[in-house]
Amino acid sequence: MTPAEQSQHALALCQMAPVIPVLVIEDIAHALPLAQALVAGGLPVLEVTLRTDCALDAIRAMAQVEGAVVGAGTVLSPQQMEAAAQAGARFAVSPGATPALIDAARVHNMPLLPGAQTCSEVMALLEQGYTVQKFFPAESIGGASALKSIGGPLPQVTFCPTGGISVTRAPDYLSLPNVACVGGSWIAPKDAMIRGDWQAITDLARAASQLPR
């Protein structure tokens, strides 16, 4: 799968809902009900970050939920790309991009959403064929106004901004013509998962799924 083809797949995923939940799962028992709650709330595309020991097992479990499209986040190496593919991830997200990671995405036919934060990084990925990219860490590098400025000279690139975005700030990004969706962790708060309050998470997901764009 070429970078251009990967971006076509990534764009289709981004267009499924205005928000992609960014999930840190520390207890494998949370994986299945969490995925069910998010899908029930209208957010089918789920990013499980590879930051915990059970992340790959969580991807395997969540991939079994009807309607869920589960991917791996914080993919930093070819080894992680391979492990994510073997776990059933259907896309990969990275905070940046390296030649080795891009090669691994080709090898494993994995749609990659590579991260960029400067015009030079965006242009370098565009040269490779990536027309859909992650803008990270969005809030700390200028927020929606910075992304709007990047869209001026680089209108051919579409973004999924992630990093520090809240339900109140998401509309600022979603109103931009170069934003397909946002990534956010507010939809699955840790305390709700610990309590097993899956209805609360479904309610947050439903509200997020109805954000205008």
Measured CA to CA, the distance from residue 193 to residue 38 in angstroms comes to 12
End-to-end CA distance of the chain: 29
Residues near 10 by beta carbon (within 8 Å), at least 6 away in sequence: 91, 111, 112, 113, 132, 160
> By the 8 A CB rule, do 48 and 65 touch?
no
Q: Among this protein's residues, is 134 annotated catalytic?
A: yes
Using CA atoms, how far apart are residues 165 and 208, in angstroms rounded to an integer? 12
Which residues lie closer than 8 Å to 87 by C-beta, 6 or more apart? 56, 57, 59, 60, 63, 72
Nearest to 58 by CA among 66, 132, 50, 99: 50
Identified catalytic residue from 47, 66, 127, 139: 47
Annotated active-site residue in 66, 82, 134, 139: 134
Q: Which residues of 114-129 are buried (b: 16+ CB within 10 A; e: fewer)?
A: bbbbeeebbeebbebe
Beta bridge partners of 115: 134
Q: Count H helices and E strands in the chain, helices first.
A: 10, 9
Active site residues: 47, 134
